[in-house]
Amino acid sequence: MSDTATAAALTRIRDNALWMRRTAFAMVHRAQLGHPGGDFSAMDVLATLYFGVLNYDPACPDRPDRDRFIMSKGHATGAFYAALALAGYFPQDWLATYMQPESRLNGHPNRNYLPGVETNTGPLGHGFPVAVGVAIAAQIAGAAHRTFVLTGDGEQQEGSNWEAAMVAGHRKLRNLTLIIDRNRLQQGAATEDTSGLDPLDEKYAAFGWDVHVVDGHDPAALLALLGAAPQDRPRCVIANTIKGKGVSFMEGQVSWHHGVPDDAQFARAMKELV
pLDDT the model gives residue 95: 98
Residues 68-94 pLDDT 10s:
999 999 999 999 999 999 999 999 999
Residues 134-179 pLDDT 10s:
999 999 999 999 999 999 999 999 999 999 999 999 999 999 999 9
Residue 172: partners with Cβ closer than 8 Å, 6 or more residues away = 208, 232, 233, 234
pLDDT the model gives residue 262: 98
Q: Compute the distance between CA of residue 176 and CA of residue 133 in angstroms, rounded to an integer.
A: 10
Mean pLDDT of the 197-207 span: 98
Q: Can you tell me whether residue 254 is helix, strand or coil?
A: helix
Sign of CA dihedral 213, 146, 129, 51: positive
Mean pLDDT of the 124-134 span: 97
Q: Can you tell me whether residue 173 is helix, strand or coil?
A: coil
Q: Residue 104: pLDDT above 90? A: yes
Structural domains present in the chain: 3-272 (3.40.50.970)
What's the Cα-to-Cα distance from 128 to each of 37, 203, 238, rounded to whole Å?
21, 16, 14
**In the chain, alpha helices (H):** 3-31, 36-48, 77-87, 127-141, 159-171, 191-194, 200-206, 219-226, 263-272
Mean pLDDT of the 238-261 span: 97
pTM, full prediction: 0.97
Q: Residue 120: pLDDT above 90? A: yes
Q: Compute the distance between CA of residue 224 and CA of residue 237 in angstroms, rounded to an integer.
A: 12
Residues 30-75 pLDDT 10s:
999 999 999 999 999 999 999 999 999 999 999 999 999 999 999 9
Q: Which pLDDT band, with edges at 50, 70 and 90, does 2 fall under? A: confident
